Amino acid sequence: MKLIVFFGIAIQSMLANKLRSVLTMLGMIIGVGAVIILMSVGAGLQNMITSTFEELGTNLLFVHPSNPEAPGLAALAPGYAINSLTTDDAEAIGRLRSVEAAVPTNENFVRLVVGNDDAVAMMHGSTPGYRQVYGFDMAAGQFISDVNVARRDMVVVLGHNIAEDLFGDANDAVGQMVKIKDKRFTVIGVMAPRGLSSFGFSWDELSVTPITTYQTRLFSQKTPAGEDAVQQMSVQVGNAWTLEEATEEIKNVLRKRHRIGADEDDDFTVISPEQLMGTFETITIALTVFLGLIGSISLLVGSIGIMNIMLVSVTERTREIGLRKAIGAKRRDILLQFLLEAAMLSLSGGAIGLIGAWLITEGISLVDLGGFTLDAVVSPVIVIVAILVSVFIGLVSGIYPAMRAARLNPIDALHYG
């Protein structure tokens, strides 16, 4: 009963100083808003990563060059890793019992020019196995062949969107010329539309050329021994074999081929999408926590703002407090009244921040980030936590001012000012 009355007093006093209340809430609005947006975006990223790796399937392994000297993840960093892998390595892996296909892939962005039109696309230099591993259908023409790879043919297979951009229609593209790095390539096929990869790129804006052509005509990278280097291999593991067994076989054959001694570390890394996902998840979680901490600083500032305003309010209303005590208010009545007021301020700020954050995350989810969207979600859990945290911050910020109010001597308070 009393609580309802105190609730009314709190709302009245907030409304009596509207501008001040809003300014006080601002810290909470920004703090709660920032934390929720960051958490939602983090959750969205997490979902994206998970679905990406689910899409890849469970029978895939990646082989990357690495630097045996480098610590942890740095071993995989481009430029830091030693170019240790070659197409011969890929062929050797492809011959393993446990391996269905091993596809070497080099990649870089290129500009495709047709007359006055041009388009930027991701160029993959690879082998015919690429189509098998990633499961492509052809809309027109054909995929690169072993002959193309052996002869280093100047041929290219285009993603559906790229073909449409440059030639208007996929069927028209086959047989046409495209200039890449001022060299003339013949379009031999167009891949069927496939849509977005949850990796964040569009399969339809890809182009594929024989890896040998890529290495010699487009982007040359050499191993320390002077051979053409391979950036990455995708290995499809046979159904009868586990990823662990395949990993073991791949390691053995590569160590033998690279003449790595028993006490030396690998100059390559075999990693499964699941492991990779784990790594990405660790990074997103760390990022989310870090950004959340930054948002929390805003909450702290908001909390100090509330405490400050509550202290001002207690001072301003000293006479009122004296009167309330004179007509029978106990200490805990006064304490409760001011605590409730602080909690209300904080909760109102938190609620506004919550609504703002929800609108912003909805907006973020609508933004086209180059062919994909980040599905940022404000989950019910986040909403409940935000409300509880807001009330908690209000209570914590309000406790000291409220105690000061409760302790006021009614005689002094009545004669104040």
Partner 1 sequence: MIELKNVTKVYRMGKVDILALRGVSVTIERGEMMSIVGASGSGKSTLMNMIGFLDTPSEGQYIFDGIDVGELNDNRLAVMRSREIGFVFQDYNLLSRATAVSNVELPLVYAGGTRKRHRALEALERVGLAARANHKPTELSGGEQQRVAIARALVNNPALVLADEPTGNLDSSATAEILEIFQALNKEGITVIMVTHEMDIAARAKRMIRLMDGQIISDEKTGMKK
Residue 131 or 317 having the CB closest to partner 1 = 317
Amino acid letter for position 346: S
Apex 34 CA angle, 347 and 356, nearest 5:
65
Residue 371 or 410 having the CB closest to partner 1 = 410
Residue 335 or 389 having the CB closest to partner 1 = 335
Which parts of 293-332 interact with partner 1 (CB under 8 A)?
319-320, 322-331
Binding of partner 1 by 414 (CB under 8 A): yes
- Closest approach, Cβ 317 to partner 1, in A, equals 9
Residue 131 or 324 having the CB closest to partner 1 = 324
- Closest approach, Cβ 308 to partner 1, in A, equals 22
Which parts of 112-141 interact with partner 1 (CB under 8 A)?
none
The pair of structure tokens assigned to 158 is: 């285009």
- Closest approach, Cβ 365 to partner 1, in A, equals 44
Decide: helix, strand or coil at residue 190: strand
**Spatial CA neighbour of 28 closest among 354, 395, 360:** 354
Distance of CA 402 to the CA centre of its chain: 43
- Closest approach, Cβ 379 to partner 1, in A, equals 40
The pair of structure tokens assigned to 287 is: 């990022």
Is residue 61 exposed (0-12), middle (13-18) or buried (19+ Cβ within 10 Å)? buried
Residue 100 or 333 having the CB closest to partner 1 = 333
Burial 134-151 (b: 16+ CB within 10 A, else e): bebebbbbebbeeebbee
- Closest approach, Cβ 336 to partner 1, in A, equals 11
**Spatial CA neighbour of 123 closest among 36, 210, 44, 52:** 210
The rounded distance, in Å, linking the Cα atoms of 342 and 310 is 7
CA torsion, ordered 196, 198, 203, 207, to nearest 10 deg: 140
- Closest approach, Cβ 332 to partner 1, in A, equals 8
- Closest approach, Cβ 319 to partner 1, in A, equals 7
Residue 146 or 412 having the CB closest to partner 1 = 412
Burial 21-31 (b: 16+ CB within 10 A, else e): beebbbbbbbb
Residue 122 or 312 having the CB closest to partner 1 = 312
Q: What are phi and psi of 176, to 5 degrees?
A: -80, 165
**Spatial CA neighbour of 379 closest among 45, 39, 29:** 39
Residue 194 or 331 having the CB closest to partner 1 = 331
How many CB atoms sit inside 10 A of residue 71's CB? 7
- Closest approach, Cβ 330 to partner 1, in A, equals 4
Binding of partner 1 by 385 (CB under 8 A): no
Which parts of 3-32 interact with partner 1 (CB under 8 A)?
5, 12-13, 16
Binding region for partner 1 (CB under 8 A) out of 119-127, 229-237, 343-351, 407-415: 407-415
Which parts of 262-281 interact with partner 1 (CB under 8 A)?
none
Contact 141, 188 (CB under 8 A): yes
CA torsion, ordered 129, 133, 138, 143, to nearest 10 deg: -10
Residue 251 or 331 having the CB closest to partner 1 = 331
- Closest approach, Cβ 396 to partner 1, in A, equals 25
Binding of partner 1 by 336 (CB under 8 A): no
- Closest approach, Cβ 391 to partner 1, in A, equals 23
Residue 273 or 322 having the CB closest to partner 1 = 322
The pair of structure tokens assigned to 306 is: 């509330």
Please tell me the count of residues contacting partner 1 according to CB under 8 A. Answer: 22
Q: How far apart are the first and last CA of the chain?
A: 32
The rounded distance, in Å, linking the Cα atoms of 70 and 80 is 8
Binding of partner 1 by 333 (CB under 8 A): yes
Amino acid letter for position 120: V
- Binding interface with partner 1 (CB under 8 A): 1-2, 5, 12-13, 16, 319-320, 322-331, 333, 410-411, 414
